[in-house]
Structures are given as structure tokens and as C-alpha cells.
């Protein structure tokens, strides 16, 4: 059975709602628990972690813009990566972790 990207995203996001938030200081743990599924595979256009070319235009917009997009959602990406348990600081820690992989 072939699933569309939208169906895969919906399944993924449903699973993520059950993952608790990590400590805000641990961006990698937050990434691993909430962001990894989409940002490792590039699901629905998510920039792949560690891919400098995919992050370049986003980085040029500034960290605050990236954090705001991650907190509030952008395009098909839902707010907080669909993990409502994440605080703003949790999301910012995950963004910082992802940005560190492309610097």
C-alpha cells in the first residue's frame, strides 16, 4: 500500500503527540523525540538536519525567524512540531541543535 506524504505526516504527527518534552537545555533530546522523523528524511520539504544547502536560505532569515516558525508552525509543519508539550524554550533548544549541525 502506497501512502502519500500527507498521510505519512499525519501518522507521524499523531505518534509525536505522546512524546514528553525534554529539558530545554537538551536540544538533541528534543530533536530526537519530536523533530527527527521529518528533519532526517526531509518529509514534506522539511530541511534535512546537517544539510547546509537546505538550511542556507533559512539561516539568512535569522535565528529569531526560525524559532518563530518552529513555535508557530510554517507551511505544512505544525506549531511545535505537533508536540504541544514543548515550551518555547524547548523549541528554541531544538532549533539551536539543528543549526549547530550546519555551521
CATH superfamily of 23-100: Cytochrome c-like domain (1.10.760.10)
Average pLDDT, 10 consecutive residues per value, the chain (103 residues): 55 51 74 96 96 97 98 96 96 97 94
Residue pLDDT, tens place only, 23-50: 546 999 999 999 999 999 999 999 999 9
Give the contacts of 73 (CB within 8 A, at least 6 positions apart).
Answer: 79, 80
Q: Measuring CA to CA, how many Å separate 53 from each of 45, 46, 85?
A: 13, 13, 31
* Contact of 74 with 81, CB cutoff 8 Å: no
What pLDDT, on a 0 to 100 scale, did the predictor assign at position 44? 92
Backbone dihedral angles phi then psi of residue 47, each to the nearest 5 degrees: -65, 130
Q: What is the mean pLDDT of the chain?
A: 86
* Contact of 58 with 47, CB cutoff 8 Å: yes
Domain ranges of the chain: 23-100
Amino acid at each position: 500500500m502506497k501512502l502519500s506524504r500527507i498521510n505519512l505526516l499525519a501518522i507521524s504527527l499523531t505518534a509525536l503527540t505522546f512524546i514528553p518534552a525534554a529539558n530545554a537545555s537538551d536540544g538533541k533530546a528534543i530533536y530526537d523525540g519530536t523533530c527527527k522523523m521529518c528533519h532526517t528524511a526531509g518529509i514534506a520539504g522539511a530541511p534535512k538536519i546537517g544539510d547546509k544547502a537546505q538550511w542556507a536560505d533559512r539561516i539568512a532569515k535569522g535565528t529569531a525567524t526560525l524559532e518563530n516558525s518552529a513555535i508557530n508552525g510554517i507551511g505544512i509543519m505544525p506549531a511545535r512540531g505537533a508536540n504541544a508539550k514543548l515550551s518555547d524554550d524547548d523549541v528554541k533548544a531544538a532549533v539551536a541543535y539543528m543549526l549547530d549541525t550546519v555551521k
